[in-house]
């Protein structure tokens, strides 16, 4: 019996050893499988802000001056061409009134010159008739040569007078045309003293007040054109090549998992650049590049201009196709 148990003992040891080796082999295979299968990312989260599709416009006056009236306040809806702000135009009004007065005087002179020309032309017809009659009598011997010459001289003098009057009239007419053009220019300059809405939209901000001075080219208000909303965001270079036009995107508040709007990608920049939208974010690497992407908001309400949002963009290969 003792030999019998000794015979089975080595067989048992070999069986246990084989079992251990088999277990180690299975664990190694499982680990290898887990390493071999890469994690597939189908979405990219990008920070961005809400803007009007036509971009926010900084309004400024073409001329400097004192504000006489502000017609609208922040939040007002405007139509294209509607007055927003006016600048003192007293000096320009005086210049226009003076120019128009000079034009009226010149036009009166035109009427006088035209009457003088009509009278001179009637007189020249009489002198021509007198000269021709005197010449015929002279040819018949019934009139002296001196009288015929005198009649010709009077006729020629009157003809020269008509030419002089017509030249003076043309000069006055040209002067009126130049003055009229000058008045049109002054009126155009006066129009520049009123800032108007460039299109239909909303007045987002208004810093100017009545009595304050505004400087030419310096913004005093922000204006949002009426139209679609877009989200301008920046996608990290790691996923930049996988974002396609037409790809769907969910919009959510920063740090939230609940989508409050959705849209689709309508623009992808053709190059990478440094972060610009939120370059002050803590922990951003300075050498990191991003691709600018614009998302057209198709569903969603209550989104505020310039609000910071997150866009979850579909990166699947078929997205946008």
Collapsing DSSP to helix, strand or coil, 302 comes out as: coil
How far apart CA 115 and CA 129 sit, in angstroms, is 22
Nearest one of 312, 321, 296, 297 to 239, comparing CA atoms: 312
Range in 4-18, 74-88, 283-297 with the lowest mean pLDDT: 4-18
Range in 7-16, 135-144, 172-181, 244-253 with the lowest mean pLDDT: 7-16
The highest-level CATH class for domain 43-53+228-314 is mainly beta
How far apart CA 262 and CA 295 sit, in angstroms, is 9
How far apart CA 222 and CA 206 sit, in angstroms, is 7
Collapsing DSSP to helix, strand or coil, 253 comes out as: strand
pLDDT value of residue 3: 38
* pLDDT one-digit tens code per residue, 92-123: 999 999 999 999 999 999 999 999 999 999 99
How far apart CA 227 and CA 204 sit, in angstroms, is 14
* pLDDT one-digit tens code per residue, 221-241: 999 999 899 999 999 999 999
Q: Region of 148 please: left (phi>0), alpha (psi -120 to 50) or beta.
A: alpha
- Please answer whether residues 199 and 225 qualify as being in contact, where contact means their C-beta atoms are separated by less than 8 angstroms: yes
- Please answer whether residues 235 and 44 qualify as being in contact, where contact means their C-beta atoms are separated by less than 8 angstroms: yes
Reported pTM: 0.64
How far apart CA 110 and CA 179 sit, in angstroms, is 14
Domains of the chain, residue spans: 1-34, 43-53+228-314, 59-88+195-224, 90-191
The highest-level CATH class for domain 59-88+195-224 is mainly beta
* pLDDT one-digit tens code per residue, 143-183: 899 998 999 999 999 999 999 999 999 999 999 999 999 99
């Amino acid at each position: 019996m003792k030999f019998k148990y000794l015979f089975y003992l080595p067989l048992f040891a070999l069986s246990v050893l084989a079992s251990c080796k088999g277990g180690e082999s299975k664990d190694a295979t499982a680990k290898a499988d887990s390493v071999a299968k890469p994690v597939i990312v189908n979405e990219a989260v990008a920070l961005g802000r809400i803007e009007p599709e036509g971009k926010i416009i900084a309004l400024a006056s073409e001329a400097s001056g004192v504000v006489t009236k502000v017609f609208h306040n922040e939040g007002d809806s405007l139509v294209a061409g509607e007055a927003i702000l006016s600048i003192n135009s007293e000096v320009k009004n005086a210049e226009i009134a003076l120019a128009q007065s000079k034009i009226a005087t010149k036009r009166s002179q035109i009427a006088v010159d035209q009457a003088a020309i009509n009278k001179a032309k009637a007189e020249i017809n009489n002198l021509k008739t007198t000269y021709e009659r005197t010449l015929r009598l002279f040819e018949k011997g019934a009139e002296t040569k001196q009288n015929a010459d005198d009649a010709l001289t009077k006729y020629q003098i009157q003809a020269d007078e008509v030419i002089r009057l017509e030249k003076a009239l043309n000069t006055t007419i040209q002067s009126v045309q130049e003055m009229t053009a000058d008045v049109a220019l002054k009126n155009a300059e006066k129009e520049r003293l009123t800032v108007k809405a460039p299109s239909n939209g909303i007045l987002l901000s208004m810093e100017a007040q009545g009595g304050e001075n505004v400087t030419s080219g310096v913004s005093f208000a922000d204006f949002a054109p009426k139209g679609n909303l877009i989200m301008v965001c920046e996608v990290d270079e790691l996923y930049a090549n996988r974002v396609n036009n037409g790809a769907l995107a969910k919009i959510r508040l920063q740090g939230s998992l609940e989508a409050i709007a959705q849209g689709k990608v309508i623009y992808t920049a053709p190059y990478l650049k440094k972060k610009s939208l939120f370059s002050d974010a803590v922990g951003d690497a300075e050498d990191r590049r991003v691709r600018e992407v614009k998302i057209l908001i198709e569903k969603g309400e209550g989104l505020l201009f310039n609000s910071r949002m997150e866009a979850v963009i579909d990166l699947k290969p078929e997205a946008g196709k």
